[in-house]
Chains A and B, each alone.
Chain A
Amino acid sequence: MLLRFVTRRLAVAIIQLIGISLFVFFMIRILPADPVARLVGLNATKEAYDLAAHNLGLDQPWGQQLLNYLGIYSNRPGDGVLQGDLGDSWVTSAPILEELVRFLPITLEFITYALLIAFLIAVPMAMAAATKPGKTADRVTFVWGLFAGAQPEFWWGLMFVFFFFFQFHEWGFPSAPAPLGRLNPMVSEPHTITGFILIDSLLAGNFRAFLDGAHHLMLPVFTLVFVVSGAIIKMLRQNMIRVLQSDYILYARSAGLPSRQVGFYAMRAAMAPAMTLVGIFYGFLLGGAVPIELIYSLGGIGEYSIRSILAFDYPAIQGTVLIIAMVSLLIYLVIDILHAAIDPRVTF
């Protein structure tokens, strides 16, 4: 059953990915940007311009460009997407897939920690709020949910830098590190295995890098938790209140189960939809954490995407969107499987 569900979902995902790729491919070409002029400069001669356009393959009709990108009936050297090659960046000339594999884990790492922590904070808070509706805990979580869901996360990031780095430093407290990357330049970087700096340094037994990495991840993760937790708490609270009014909870209560156990049952049912929300946040933050990455100079996929967008680097834009969409779809799938594991009412 599970296998059939997964294959069906993967089939749909592939269709979606094809749709997204085509859409992005044509969208960036319809918009009135001139990547050739961006590369050769505005004062370039006609010949230089044409040569650059030819080298990039932009002198071909769109149909042929698409075939070249896909790698079928290509009239250019190199493979296409169908052979697993996303092409070379027009700015750095490096293979895009390699660059993405280097940058993606950086973003994945801090988003994962942030969402995990936010979820762990949200569960007890939502439980406290929902079991006593209208009381202080409920009101606080309600206002918090409304407030944090509507905040400019990049501004809070800056404020945290000011407070925990600059101000703590002034006061002589142990402060957060300067927002300049993932590790102190004095600390040797662990050999890349997963790309997650905390996991890599543990695998390498490099505790100094582990501590320093955690120290540098502290503020970006805190910023994200701060912003994301509100929405998760809000949703968990709503679900909890709804579930607590349902018949099977009434039954569990009347059967004389201790209230803690009833609360646990209710939480299990309330958690499943909130996990879907976490999945959606994952997809959203993969591309949407750009400002936070910029503030802390983390150099993840968000920074890569804004750099390639501002440089009109078409292959890099296409590759980034494709990879982000792919990872998000994969995460949605995992979340749905987890959903079924938690909630016995869901079957494939």
Chain B
Amino acid sequence: MTITPGPQVAATADASGVVVIPKRRRIDIWRKYKEEKLFAFGCTMVAIMLLLALCEILHLELGLPTRITPYDPNFATGNVSVPPPPLADWPGLLVDTIFNGAKPPHWFGTDNSGLDVFSRTIAAPRTDMTIALVAALVSMLLGTFVGLICGFYRNIATEVVMRISDLLQSFPVFITAMVLVALSGRQVWNIVLALAIVYAPIFVRLTRAEVMSQSVRGYVESARAVGNPEWKVAFRHVLPNSLIPSLIQVSSTIGFAILLTSGLSFVGAGVRPPTPEWGLMISLGAPQIILGEWWQSIFPGVAISLTVFSFAAVGHGLEEDYG
């Protein structure tokens, strides 16, 4: 798979009239995937999590038989606080469940209201991934749009917008998110909106800086010279060439959004129980941890840890080639 970002310009003259031939900036993601273990690991994990989320969402929204959780993630089984089976029994149990049609065991145990931890852990991407993905995309769209306008048209109005964006960025992130979510009702879409507002200033800043450096390039002047209206210069010519920093930032923003979503649920300002959500599962298991019931909160935590790390690894890989 080859991605060539933005329209390619053969040769342009920069502000001082020197002809610059732009480097063809392309990354070969497939080559990178084969050669870099860390990047490959990140991509694979992200793909798995997306797949899990997709399975659950297709089942819930369209009623397709794509549910792969052995138990209903929202339905208590009646077996309360069951520890997971010892590792030595796993192969035997696996064979029994798959070939002999036995009732699947609680692989990761059950929590103290009887919900199956394994089912909830693999059903949770539907909440976490959806919130994080949509929030990151919305904040990117919003931030890129505002950043483009503020970088392209420099006047008092856009200056005021920038100051507001700076102000927003100087806010304590976690508290702002808690206030936004708790006071607007702890619904999934409110969390998405809150996260989008919290993360948008980063994209405003990134895009604006890139737009400002692109606007003085020769191709912008050429676009103007052939009679393009200003808005068309901004959206058709400057925007596609200013997207790269934001696109790189998206990956790590999704990771941070997962951390923030689960952190909010953990302190009680996120999604409501019994929604399958990693942070909420950890928080439900937290009082049990000093009693030695480790299984309720360890597995969702491993899931968060791996997912966020994967997004960071992907983001780092892209940054290396592009940034």
Which residues of A come within 8 Å of B, CB atoms?
A: 16, 19-20, 23-24, 27-28, 31-33, 143, 146-147, 149-152, 154-156, 158-159, 161-162, 165-166, 170, 178-179, 283-284, 286-288, 290-291, 294-295, 305-306, 309-310, 312, 317, 320-321, 324-325, 328
Contacts and interface: CB of A to CB of B under 8 A. Distances in A.
Given A155-B282, A306-B267, A324-B175, 20 more contacts: A20-B170, A27-B179, A31-B183, A32-B183, A146-B316, A150-B255, A150-B259, A152-B308, A166-B290, A166-B291, A178-B290, A284-B173, A290-B174, A294-B267, A309-B269, A317-B179, A321-B171, A321-B175, A321-B179, A325-B172
B279 interface: yes
A150 B282 CA distance: 17
B304 A155 contact: yes
Contacts of B309: 146-147, 150-151
Interface residues of B, number: 47
A13 B146 CA distance: 25
B61 to A, nearest CB: 27
B294 interface: yes
Interface string B170-192: 11111100111011110000000
A290 B183 contact: no
13 contacts: A23-B171, A32-B184, A146-B316, A152-B279, A152-B301, A155-B305, A158-B286, A159-B298, A284-B172, A290-B178, A295-B286, A305-B178, A328-B170
Contacts of B255: 150
Contacts of A325: 170-172
B157 interface: no
Nearest to B307: A150
A295 B303 CA distance: 20
Nearest to A166: B292
Contact of B305 (A152, A288, A291, A306): A152
B239 interface: no
A158 B281 CA distance: 13
B297 interface: yes
B226 interface: no
Interface string B294-323: 100110110011001101110010000000
SS class, residues of chain A in contact with chain B: helix
A64 B294 CA distance: 52
A47 B282 CA distance: 42
Contacts of B185: 32-33
A150 B46 CA distance: 14
Interface-centre pick from A19, A290, A305, A328 (highest chain B CB count, 10 A) = A290
Nearest to B256: A150
A154 B173 contact: no
Nearest to A143: B38
A158 B286 CA distance: 7
Contacts of B269: 306, 309-310
Given A31-B184, A291-B266, A309-B179, A179 B290 contact: yes
A16 B172 contact: no
Nearest to A306: B267
Contacts of A324: 172, 175
Contact of A146 (B163, B182, B292, B312): B312
Contact of B301 (A155, A179, A317): A155
A286 B173 CA distance: 10
B227 to A, nearest CB: 42
B268 A162 contact: no
A212 B55 CA distance: 51
A23 B170 CA distance: 12
Nearest to A165: B290
B170 A158 contact: no
A16 B255 CA distance: 29
Interface string B39-69: 0000000000000000000000000000000
Nearest to A289: B174
Contacts of B172: 283-284, 286-288, 321, 324-325, 328
Nearest to B298: A159
B18 interface: no
Contacts of B267: 290-291, 294, 306
A268 B286 CA distance: 43
